[in-house]
Structure 1
Amino acid sequence: MNTALRQAATNEFEKNLFKLMNNAVFGKTMENIRKRSVVKLVSKWNGRYGAEALIAKPEFKAATIFNENLVAIELNKTEVYFNKPIYVGMSILDLAKTTIYDFHYEYMLPEFGEDCSVLYTDTDSLIYEIRNKDIYEVIQRDCHTRFDTSDYPQDNKYNIPQVNKKVLGMMKDEFNGVPVELFIGLRSKMYAVKQAVNNSNAIRTEIGLTKKIKGIKRSVIKRVITLDDFVECVDNFKTKYISQNLIRSEKHAVFSITQDKIALNPHDDKRYLIKGSYETFPWGHYFIKDDGDESLE
């Protein structure tokens, strides 16, 4: 029902609301109840239910002193009742992975062959480099069976119709017909995508630029991190540091802090970088020798 309501949504609030309602249910199916704990608020030290007795328990985890008359004691649960349908959440994840793999191996590879390379992938998305073939002709041909094109302009130059709005399992062109000119993927959830623009000198501007860095505030990404920083990081292996202001709460006291953090890191510990190239192998690939050198013969 939420999917149908999302299809009928007329604004961003409704779209996000019905998406969240689905995601919230999924999250509860996969909840790790082992992480739940018991918190006791005590105002005395001695006695059966005092802080001393609770701290002495084998399930004691942590204590927070608010003042001389109030202490919070955190205990691990001694019994865990598994009442969440984890198999439902696992099945949803498996179906999502199967959908992505089927799209790549059963559709993209037979269609494009060696002219198709995966640059980046996440749980429900893929970034491709397509060579020697017009991807928009393929989308126009197969839009009714493979793609959600509902966000394309109605009068787009590719004559792609608006179909399959929010239909489950359909792939979507996030840029709606605007080609990607440059992609830089440094690590998981750390990348930049530059869309093609009419002005060839605008490749270093913020026009049509998408930047994603997990753990960094969006305002800092927009204001401080530039495309040049991504280029410098990937070409010269230069780490980018930033400072960001955050609001924190501790013991019911709200305060602000300045955090120094690595924003861009050229070292991806999940992939092996081929020397003299931007290409990578997954660790364990048979081209990688035991000494860390690759063999491409």
Structure 2
Amino acid sequence: MENVRKRIDVKLVSSWNGRYGAEAQISKPNFHSRAIFDENLVAIQLSKTVVTIDKPMYVGFSILDISKTQLYRFHYDFMRDRFKSNCKVLYTDTDSLVYEIRGQNVYEVMKHKDNINEFDTFDYEKDNPFGMPLLQENSKKIGLMKDELSGKILRRFCGLRSKMYSVDIQNGGFIKKIKGIKSSVVKNTITFDDYLQCLRENTIISREQHNIRSRLHVLRSEKERKIALSPHDDKRYLVPGTTDTLPWGHKDIVAEPAAKRSRHN
């Protein structure tokens, strides 16, 4: 959803004096900044003096909240009800969940007549080995959960932090996600074992990447070195001695002793 408060006016001026010159523009109370291209051309950025709030911003955050509610309902009312303590959340995002399920056949549970309408299974192969029914009426239906791998077996999963995880698919290669790193760099230089090394050895892995950027409307090629994989997640609390995390403020987070905190300072 567009934020109309971020709209701006940009004036291109080629002289200093005059009613529409640079001097007059930068003297305005809504002057924000300027960019000098050369001695005869300057861009002046002005803030809007009148903002018309005509976008339904409430729709944007309502959709996000409804999505979260749907995800919580699926987890607590369906998964926890069917699998009890046999299911564990490994990773979650706005509209997705990755589970570890032990002791039960998840496909048998999914295709049961009382459960099948929780899922969109139309992308499964017709002759899939699980006997999963392909219901046309559930295809692309809003609110249903979907197997992103469409029946392929997920062998291993390694999640380091938000938008940073990898999936090892049986006979199907790997899915590797790293926010902020070019997909070509991730594809060609990062392996599933790099994720495991980062997790188990508490190491930070960096990669170089090349970008084409525009500065003052001049294109240039830049090389940068960025952190690709990091075991440090500032959005979650890492339970000592485990790979489990808790949200900040969770009741099970034990406060550090005062003496230990003072040594850190």
Deviations 1:238-262 (A, max 9, x none): 1011110111122222221111111
2:73 aligned partner: 102
Partner of 1:184: 158
2:255, 2:111 → 1: CA distance? Answer: 46
Shifted more, 59-68 versus 145-154: the winner is 59-68
Give the residue type in structure 2 aligned to 1:65. I
Instruction: Map 1:166-185 onto structure 2 (within 5 A).
Output: 166-185=140-159
| Residue 87 (structure 1) shift | 2.0
Q: Which residue of 1 aligns with 2:97?
A: 126
1:288 matches 2:262? no
Corresponding residue for 1:50?
21
Q: State which drifts further: 210-219 or 244-253.
A: 244-253
The aligned amino acid for 2:128 is: N
Cα offsets for 1:153-172 (capped at 9, x unmatched): 11011100112211111111
Partner of 2:178 in structure 1? Answer: 213
Q: Which amino acid aligns with 2:20?
A: Y
Q: Which residue of 2 aligns with 1:159?
A: 131
What letter matches 1:40 in structure 2? K
SS in 1 for 2:133: coil
The answer for unaligned runs of 5 or more in structure 1 is 1-29, 198-206
**Aligned positions of 1:60-71 closer than 5 A:** 60-71=31-42
Partner of 1:261: 226
Residue type matched to 2:123 in 1?
D
Paired letter, 1:78: T
1:226 aligns with 2:226: no
- The answer for the alignment partner of 2:121 in structure 1 is 149
Equivalence map 1:72-91=2 (5 Å): 72-91=43-62
Where 1:182 maps in the other structure, the secondary structure is strand
The 3-state SS of whatever aligns with 1:167 is: coil
Determine whether 1:117 maps to 2:82.
no
**How high is the sequence identity, in percent, across the aligned residues?**
53
Amino acid at match of 2:146: K
Distance 2:116 2:84 in 1: 22
Amino acid at match of 1:106: D
Give the TM-score normalised by structure 1: 0.82
Q: How far apart are the structure 2 equivalents of 1:157 and 1:179?
A: 11
- 1:42 and 1:192 map into 2 onto residues whose CA distance is 50
Q: Distance in 2 between matches of 1:180 and 1:144?
A: 20
Aligned length: 255
SS of 1:289's equivalent? Answer: coil
CA–CA separation in structure 1 for the residues paired with 2:173 and 2:189: 17
Aligned to 2:63: 92
Unaligned stretches of 5+ residues in structure 2: none
Q: Aligned with 2:250: secondary structure? A: coil
**One-letter identity of the residue aligned with 1:285:** H
Distance in 2 between residues matched to 1:283 and 1:154, nearest whole Å? 44
What TM-score, normalized to structure 2? 0.91
What SS is found at the alignment partner of 1:111? helix
